Amino acid sequence: MPHLSELHGAATHLAVVAIPTYLLILLVRRTGRGGEALAAAEAWIVAATVVGVALAGITGLLVWGQAQTRLRGSSFRIGTVHFWLGIGLAALIVILASWRRFRAANDRHTHGLELVAGGILALAAVLAQGYLGGRMTYHNGVGVYGGGQFAQTASGTASLEAALARGVPPATAGRDAFAVTGLGCASCHGDRAQGMRGPRLAGGVELGEFRDVHGAGLFPPRAVSDRDFAAINAWLRSLRSG
State the chain's mean pLDDT as an integer: 81
Confidence of residue 199 (pLDDT cuts 50, 70, 90): confident
The stretch 7-27 carries a mean pLDDT of 83
3-state secondary structure labels for all residues of the chain: CCCHHHHHHHHHHHHHHHHHHHHHHHHHHHCCCCHHHHHHHHHHHHHHHHHHHHHHHHHHHHHHHHHHHHCCHHHHHHHHHHHHHHHHHHHHHHHHHHHHHHHHHCCCCCCCHHHHHHHHHHHHHHHHHHHHHHHHHHHCCCCCCCCHHHHHHHHHHHHHHHHHHCCCCHHHHHHHHHCCCCCCCHHHHCCCCCCCCCCCCCCCCCHHHHHHHHCCCCCCCCCCCHHHHHHHHHHHHCCCCC
Better-scored residue on pLDDT, 148 or 155 = 155
Please give the pLDDT value at position 166. Answer: 93
Q: Are residues 129 and 184 in the same domain?
A: no
The stretch 49-78 carries a mean pLDDT of 76
Final residue belonging to a domain, choices 104, 139, 174: 139
Q: Are residues 110 and 226 in the same domain?
A: no
Select the highest-mean-pLDDT range: 2-6, 22-26, 31-35, 165-169: 165-169
Say which range, 62-66, 112-116, 145-149, 229-233, has the weakest mean pLDDT: 145-149
Q: Looking at the predicted structure, is the pLDDT value of residue 239 above 70? A: yes
Q: How many domains are there within the chain?
A: 2
Q: Is residue 242 part of a domain?
A: no
Please give the pLDDT value at position 155. Answer: 73
**Tens-place pLDDT, residues 94-153:** 888 788 777 767 766 656 666 777 778 888 888 898 898 888 877 767 776 665 555 555
Please give the pLDDT value at position 237. Answer: 93
Q: Looking at the predicted structure, is the pLDDT value of residue 1 above 60? A: no
Final residue belonging to a domain, choices 139, 157, 187: 139
Please give the pLDDT value at position 60. Answer: 82
Range of the domain at 10: 4-139
Q: Are residues 188 and 131 in the same domain?
A: no
Percentage of residues in the chain having pLDDT higher than 70: 83
